[in-house]
Amino acid sequence: MNPRLREALLEGTDLAPFGRLVDAPAEGMTLADVPVERLLATTLSAKVLVLRGYGLLDVPELERYCEAAGELMRWEFGTILDLVVQDDPKNYLFDSGDVPFHWDGAWSERAPRFFLFQCVQGCDPGAGGETVFSDATAVYRDAPPALRDLWARTTVTYRTDHLAHYGGTMSHPVLAEHPTTGETTIRYAEPLDPAQYRNPLFLTVEGPSSEEAVQVMAELSERLHDPRYCYEHAWRTGDIVVAENHALLHGRNRFTGSTNRHMQRIQII
């Protein structure tokens, strides 16, 4: 690593198998006291950055803080999505079940580089709802050459109803180049069974033979969920988590207890 870049990183405790935890060095500090350039440099290096002990920002403050780092993703609801379990949701993101792996911005012209969560209300211990991050660059790096070649020949077409802030039909190669690091990464969203999810996601695998297509999906499922490549974050009230969207896929474990968790998400292009 470049020595100047190393000096710019926030000091903290390394998490396993990746990520970094940074505790506020003094009382009364907020996210605004963390230089946004160091925040994102640390996230790019660690892939997931967890801040604890820092005060959260209100909506206008959070927008101003993140705008200093780049353009924000804007949706019908604005820039900040409130992630809460709803009584009668149209989209599975807002129910109490699991959220399979995906990447943010798949249906947009430009995917965000980073996304940041503020946890307004955390989960009770053991209540589920953990966010799971899978290191797609490491999964590709450790795959055997023949499987890499198969993934390189594969494009997936996704189709889902437009019931939330995304939807429709789109196609994407399984492999992509990370726009900052140049690493090869995996872009894949897991299928959503209509018997289980409110708005199913249907996949069509293109490029390989039908037998190879089955192998593509089976290998991706097994390897992306391998604990060697996954960091699972249990949410506490006040947590701030920043994730690197191009290197990771992410999802959520189902809730097994209280569903009072409330998070705010903002995305930086």
User: Taking the CA of residue 261 as centre, how many other CA atoms within 13 Å lie in the half-sphere pointing to its CB?
Assistant: 34
Matching residue, tokens 């089955």:
214
How many CB atoms are closer than 10 A to CB 215?
Answer: 15
The pLDDT > 90 percentage for the chain reads 89
Q: How far apart are CA 256 and CA 266, in angstroms?
A: 26
Which pLDDT band, with edges at 50, 70 and 90, does 5 fall under?
A: very low
CB 139 within 8 A of CB 224: yes
pLDDT one-digit tens code per residue, 233-249: 999 999 999 999 999 99
Q: Tokens in use for 238?
A: 């006040």
Give the global pTM.
0.94
Instruction: Judge whether residue 162 has pLDDT over 90.
Output: no
Mean pLDDT within 252-267? 96
Which pLDDT band, with edges at 50, 70 and 90, does 130 fall under?
A: very high
Residue-level pLDDT at 4: 53
pLDDT one-digit tens code per residue, 20-56: 999 999 999 999 999 999 999 999 999 999 999 999 9
Q: Please provide residue 268's backbone torsions phi and psi, each rounded to the nearest 5 degrees.
A: -110, 125
Which pLDDT band, with edges at 50, 70 and 90, does 90 fall under?
A: confident
Residue-level pLDDT at 174: 98
The pLDDT > 70 percentage for the chain reads 96
